[in-house]
Structure 1
Amino acid sequence: MTLEQLITQTLAGLNYELVDFERAANGLMRVFIDHVDYENADKPIMIDDCEMASRQLTYVFEVENINYERLEVSSPGMDRPLKKLLDYARFAGLDANVKLKLPINGRKNFTGKLQGVNESADESAQLGLLFEHEGLEQVLEFGLADVDKARLVPVYNFKGKQK
């Protein structure tokens, strides 16, 4: 079992999903989690969620002899990475930055509105991004395998809670 599979399985038992993880210098391991329940998508990851996931992962890493020095568990943030087909379907209609592995018409970086996923739900599924280029709206179609990096564009609300 790979480390990613181990983390995914452990978090699934706590009703969290693994968004991303990275191993950094000096033994630092960062794990980004989100709620599995998409119907409460506005419910943010709180410190209690991170603490619960951290405690469980620490125990599992000890049992499985995973070498690390420090563990950080947090939310994916407002500029959440898009890694899986489900991410593109879940966040359809929101703005995203997409960087492709190979250029299309001399460009690799695109910013626009996610169009979701076509009918096919496998690795060959086509994704769409509506973007503006030279004053015209265009649709970029690409596959998940074509993506180098993709993140949501953060939307800041400085007004606070509305009554």
Structure 2
Amino acid sequence: MQAKQIVARVEELARPLCAEAGVSLWDVEFEKEGGQYMLTVTVDHPEGVHIDQCEQVSRALDPMLDAGEFDSLPSYTLCVSSAGLSRRLKRPEHFAAFIGHTVEIGFYKPVDGAKQAEGTLAAYDGGRVTLDVGGKQTVYEPKDIAAVRLAVEIG
């Protein structure tokens, strides 16, 4: 199974388990970190996620991942966690939910001399991210964007 297939199948399995735990599925990633593979299931709730909810999803999902269809996977660690305050926005629905919020964009290489930009998320269209900084809107292309995260606003 390829990483995309693993992610799609785990999303399919995890979505109803998340609903039972009272959270929504935010994201699933299967990546190699250092020398080890990590299967990360990220969950969310408007009022915050409790560790008991993460544990409930993990305990329900773990035996499903022991099924024969996953036998070809390399050894991995399962992690179920909250999306957190500085959550990464990856899917169109993530961007739609946070229009008007402050975000940070990290670039692969400097854009206009900077490795990142911060501003109000004004729009998202097919991977293009529009930031409003002091009334000036700038559109960033998907090929330049390494990651977009919610900015943590203190105060």
Same fold per superposition (TM over 0.5): yes
| Deviation beyond 6 Å, 4+ runs, structure 1 | none
Shift of the 147–67 alpha-carbon distance from structure 1 to 2, 3 Å rule, reads: same
Secondary structure of 1:80 counterpart: coil
Measured in 2, the distance between the counterparts of 1:108 and 1:25 equals: 24
Contact 1:18 1:31 in 2 (8 A): no
1:51 aligns with 2:55: yes
1:72-103, CA deviations, whole angstroms, 9 ceiling, x for partnerless residues?
Answer: 21102111011112211111111111013354
* Ranges in structure 2 where 5+ consecutive residues have no aligned partner: none
* Ranges in structure 1 where 5+ consecutive residues have no aligned partner: 36-40, 158-163
Contact 2:102 2:119 in 1 (8 A): yes
* Match in the other structure for 1:128: 130
State which of 137, 142, 145 in structure 2 corresponds to 1:139. Answer: 137
* Match in the other structure for 2:43: 34
Name the amino acid aligned to 1:154: V
State which of 12, 16, 41 in structure 1 corresponds to 2:15. Answer: 12
Shift of the 44–114 alpha-carbon distance from structure 1 to 2, 3 Å rule, reads: same
Measured in 1, the distance between the counterparts of 2:91 and 2:122 equals: 15
Measured in 1, the distance between the counterparts of 2:96 and 2:144 equals: 17
Measured in 2, the distance between the counterparts of 1:144 and 1:86 equals: 16
- % of aligned pairs identical? 22
Aligned-residue RMSD, C-alpha? 2.5
